Amino acid sequence: MNEYDWHKIKELAITWVKEASNQLKASLEETIHVETKSSPDDLVTEMDRKIEQYFLQKIQMNFPNHAFLGEEGISSEEFDNRDTIWIIDPIDGTTNFVHQQYNFAICVAVYHKGEGKVGIIYDVMNDELFHAVAGQGAFRNEERLESLAPVKVDKAIIGLNARWLLYKGKAFQPIVVDLVRQVRGVRSYGSAALEMAYVASGRLDGYISLRLSPWDFAAALVLLNEVGGCYSTFYGEPLAILKASSVFVGKPQFHDVVIRKFVQKELNS
Ligand code: 2AM
Ligand code: CA
């Protein structure tokens, strides 16, 4: 296969995502071994590792020149010397996978020379596939997603993990509290990737996390580019695709107003 035909690459990657989702669904019938990583809320299962290995094998077989970055610790050695990189989260929302068997996603992104070319976020239990190729529109299953319309803060619904409200003493905390007070509603689904896919598809107007990694947001940025969604760190700086950081994604005008009237105003006061 032509290694720069992004549409064909997306179609192939979707077949892998569907196969991986069958493995995940089958595993829910069995006892899953769970471990904690950095903290009690940071879980990994044998299925995270198995699905990541599955993608690595497929990518190495089909695209030996491409690099690979996955959440469970696999990355290609000569990462920096390769133009094309696959960024994979085998399960986004592992806590949901373990505790609820619901609201978890498989995420696949392909970046070329730093630009997002393919983004796939698959809600396994709802069979909802969010996918995009740069310049060719974003889709929810077969339905093309529309460009995002502006929304005012007092009419906005945002995605946010309530824990971020608790960090007293951190610069972001009073800003997040103020925003939560002023928006119309706050939702928390427990999968950053799905929440950003919901922004791309208009179900949410914004999503905030103060700590995400490339595999959590790489695919979502490709979707957001196609519908005019905005993204930055929580402080309004550009996102670096291979670096962990805070993330704020939102509808165009909403994103701008939150950065200016909430974040910058508080930080400059
Ligand atoms: P994960 O399930 O792939 O780890 C939970 O609010 C969301 O934040 C999930 O999408 C989760 O992704 C993500 N997240 C990123 N880093 C995390 C961390 N260190 N601990 C817990 N959740 C994390
Ligand atoms: Ca994960």
CA distance 170 to 157: 24
Q: At what angle do helices 46-62 and 6-27 cross, to 10 degrees?
A: 150
Residue 3: predicted pLDDT: 79
Token pair, residue 176, equals 């997040």
State which of 43, 47, 92, 107 you would mutate to test the pocket of ligand 1, scoring each by most atoms of that ligand within 8 A of its C-beta: 92
Q: Are domains 6-144 and 153-268 of this chain identical in fold?
A: no
Q: What is the mean pLDDT of each run of 10 residues along the chain (269 residues)?
A: 90 98 94 88 90 97 94 73 92 96 98 97 98 98 98 98 95 96 98 98 98 97 98 97 96 96 87
Residue 96: predicted pLDDT: 97
Residue 42: predicted pLDDT: 86
Which atom of ligand 1 lies at the shortest distance from residue 161's CA? 6
State which of 191, 204, 215, 243 you would mutate to test the pocket of ligand 1, scoring each by most atoms of that ligand within 8 A of its C-beta: 191
How many CB atoms within 10 Å of residue 172?
Answer: 17
pTM for this predicted structure: 0.96
CA distance 59 to 89: 14
Residue 1: predicted pLDDT: 75
Measure CA 93 to chain center: 10
CA distance 89 to 216: 7
Measure CA 254 to chain center: 19
CA 27 to ligand 2 centroid distance, Å: 16
Number of H helices, E strands in the chain: 8, 14
Sign of torsion, CA 150 153 159 161? positive
Q: Which of these, 54, 255, 38, lies nearest to 149 by C-alpha position?
A: 255
Residue 28: predicted pLDDT: 92
Domain boundaries, the chain: 6-144, 153-268
CATH architecture of 153-268: 3-Layer(aba) Sandwich (3.40)
Residue 45: predicted pLDDT: 87
User: CATH class for domain 6-144?
Assistant: alpha beta
Residue 181: predicted pLDDT: 97
Cβ-based neighbours of 44, under 8 Å, separated by 6 or more? 34, 35, 36, 37, 72, 94
Token pair, residue 243, equals 């670096």
CA 164 to ligand 2 centroid distance, Å: 19
